[in-house]
Amino acid sequence: MKKDIFTLALSIMLFALSLPAAAQLPGKLVRIGYLDSGTASGSAVLVDAFRQELSKLGWIEGNNITIEYRVGESKGPAHVRELVADLVRLKVDLIVVSGTPNALAAKKATTTIPIVMAYARDPVGSGLIASLARPGGNVTGTSSLAEELNTKRLEILKDAIPKLARVGFLRVAGTAEAQLKELRASAPALKVKLEEIDTQLDAKGLETAFQTVKHKQVNAIMTTAGRPFFAQRKRIIELAVKYRLPAIYSQKEYVDEGALMS
């Protein structure tokens, strides 16, 4: 359902933003820049849904729109900035991004090209928009409730495993402080100890993180909500099975890949 909302929202906004340009220049292909900092394989399900929803609104790739795909392959912020700069040089009509860091990079690169963001956390606090009611500038889109829902995920995990005493929270070192703020406050009330596990998002790093989880005698895991972990969801799920660790995740697509629950 979240994927459907995500793609439909982007499609509707794209329709609204690009219609005037198309009307002014009959036969002109509207060029969309699609930016994702994750991996091509990890993003495939969202890209496919995006194209399908666009087609339902009459926007057909290769017919009246063309899409410039730029995928960061988890190479870091500097590479994302290069990809955004490339889209700006191409003078795309619209940039679609997923996640707060990507949206911030796009906003910094251009003040004139419309930017549609998805899954941005706290867009007002991060400086992406002026307010939810009146975003201002050239950025619009949808926002997630990653921080607010993490506490609920922990509660559901506790309900599913009544004897749960220790939960591992996988994150990239130095990130997810906003998500952890909520969890650190709620864990004691649930009589659960939160173990924060710094994780490198490659095959070796993920294996090491799960070994650390077992060493700390963690009973279940959660992961940071966001694109980096989403892109590695298949491997994370495989390791959760391998180490016999129940887990709750931030998006339905994890469950589609065989995870326990979201």
> Which pLDDT tens digit goes with each residue over 38-97?
888 878 888 998 999 999 999 999 999 999 999 988 788 899 999 999 999 999 999 999
Q: Identify whether residues 93 and 191 lie together within a single domain.
A: no
Q: Identify whether residues 69 and 85 lie together within a single domain.
A: yes
Q: For position 211, what pLDDT does the model report? A: 96
Q: Identify whether residues 171 and 117 lie together within a single domain.
A: no
> 236 is written with which tokens?
């994370």
**Could you give the percent of the chain with pLDDT greater than 70?**
90
Residue 127 has pLDDT above 60, yes or no: yes
Q: Identify whether residues 67 and 126 lie together within a single domain.
A: yes
Q: Please, what is the end-to-end C-alpha distance for the chain in angstroms? A: 12
Residues 6 or more apart in contact with residue 118 via CB below 8 angstroms: 6, 9, 10, 96, 97, 98, 99, 141, 142
Question: 57 to each of 71, 94, 193, how far by Cα in Å?
Answer: 25, 17, 48
Q: For position 22, what pLDDT does the model report? A: 44
Q: Among the listed ranges 23-37, 41-55, 120-134, which one has the minimum average pLDDT value?
A: 23-37
Give the end of a domain, one of 108, 143, 178. Answer: 143
Q: Which residue range(s) make up the domain with 214?
A: 146-256
Residue 187 has pLDDT above 90, yes or no: yes
The number of domains in the chain is 2
Q: Identify whether residues 177 and 152 lie together within a single domain.
A: yes
> Which pLDDT tens digit goes with each residue over 131-182?
888 889 999 998 877 777 889 999 999 999 989 999 999 999 888 887 888 8
Q: Identify whether residues 130 and 157 lie together within a single domain.
A: no
Give the end of a domain, one of 143, 161, 189. Answer: 143
**Is 37 inside any structural domain?**
yes
Q: For position 208, what pLDDT does the model report? A: 96
Give the end of a domain, one of 112, 143, 174. Answer: 143
Residue 13 has pLDDT above 90, yes or no: no
We report the CATH number of the domain holding residue 174 as: 3.40.50.2300
- Compare 132 and 237 and report the one with higher pLDDT: 237
Distance between CA atoms of residues 108 and 238, nearest Å: 37
**Is 261 inside any structural domain?**
no
- Compare 207 and 173 and report the one with higher pLDDT: 207
Q: What is the mean pLDDT of the chain?
A: 87
Q: For position 52, what pLDDT does the model report? A: 93
